[in-house]
Structures are given as structure tokens and as C-alpha cells.
Amino acid sequence: MSSPSPAVPTAASVPSPATAPAASAPAVSARVGSARAVSSGPTVAELLDFVRRAAEDTALIASLPLDPEGRTWVRLDGPGGSEAWLIGWPPGTGTGWHDHADSVGAFTTASGTLKEHSLAVRLPTDGWKTLELNEGVDRSRELAAGQGRAFGQNHVHEVLNESDSVHAVSVHAYYPPLPRIRRFSRTGAVLRLEQTESPEDWQ
């Protein structure tokens, strides 16, 4: 989403599953567990619970305008001050490699199927442009409707709808609200930092 890229309940292209201008959208209430300290924000488990419950809301999912050419999105009311999005994925679309910096997050597929490719490696936070990845760091998972996953800080991944005919829809949540997104290109084992986006770039 994971990057990349909503008061706009209209179809639009979006650079990442996590970035988009602020939008008016259906609000989704969330329960916040009592085990969380008020100042610490929601846990990844609470974010995952939220996106799973939102993905089961058929009226919410049906409210998302879908575009056959580009991804569409609506911003949601996430739990505990988190940033949340409902995102539509036309066949053949994806995010490209990115991370969400210091935010933790979760997402669940509401309809269709998404593929996530990720790296089991913690990247340096700053001060580099090119890294050579070790063997064995690649991970892939397929997430059909109702399936989701949570992740920690600096999680590097790309999310794709590999279907050639079926739209996918997913729900994403991040905490704290995304401070930045780093975008990467990859050639074989070489990962290159291409761009760092801040909230001003997508809101």
C-alpha cells in the first residue's frame, strides 16, 4: 500500500496505498482495547482488528467508486488517531516498492485478491541511496478476501493486484499517521532509494 498516495469520494489515480489527499468518507467506528495506554496509540493488533472489521462492512466496501484505469480511495476514520484508507485496485495495478517509515500498519483484502512482496530486512533509516540485498530476504504472500496482515516500522513491500480481470478492494490503517514514505526501485538484488515523500506531497 502496505504506500503508494482522500474528502474525494470520486475515482482518481493514487501513487500508493497509503497516500492520498484528505477526503470526506464513510466513517468507521473502532473499538480501542483497554490494554493500550492513551498516549501510545493503537497497537498493530488493534489496527489489524479495525481493518478486518471494516473489510466486512459490505455497505462501506460498496461505497468506494471503482475506476478501471487507476486506483481509487476514500479516507476512513481510523482508531486512536490512526490514518486509514479504503482502496480500490483495478486489475494489473500495484504500488511499487516502498515503506512507511516510523509508522506501523495493517491491511486486509475486502474483495478480490492482493499479492504482497516484502523484504525480511531492516533498512538503514537514512544516509544511503543503494543497497545490495542478501539472498533469502524475499517474502511473498497472497491475500484473498478476508485475509490480512500487520507489520512494524520500516516494513518494505509492494502490493499488487495480479488479476487480469477482477478488481480488488482493501482497507489499510497506519499509526502514527504517515510521517513519510520512501519509494524504491529494484534491479535483482540491488535496492535503490528513489524518492522520499512527506505528507505535504499527498495532502
Give pLDDT tens digits along the chain (203 positions). Answer: 443 333 223 233 333 334 333 333 333 333 333 333 335 899 999 999 999 999 999 999 999 999 999 999 999 999 999 999 999 999 999 999 999 988 999 999 999 999 999 999 888 777 889 999 999 999 999 999 999 999 999 899 999 999 999 999 999 999 999 988 999 999 999 999 999 998 777 65
Q: Residue 123: is it exposed, middle or buried by C-beta count within 10 angstroms (0-12/13-18/19+)?
A: middle
- Give the three-class secondary structure for 32: coil
C-alpha–C-alpha distance, residues 173 and 86, integer Å: 9
Q: Give me the pLDDT at residue 127, please.
A: 83
Q: Give me the pLDDT at residue 8, please.
A: 28
Give 39's DSSP letter.
Answer: G
- Which stretches of the chain are DSSP H helices? 44-55, 58-62, 199-202
Q: Give me the pLDDT at residue 199, please.
A: 79
pTM over 0.75: yes
- In 3D, which of 137, 50, 164 has the Cα closest to residue 41? 50
C-alpha–C-alpha distance, residues 197 and 177, integer Å: 13
C-alpha–C-alpha distance, residues 200 and 54, integer Å: 27
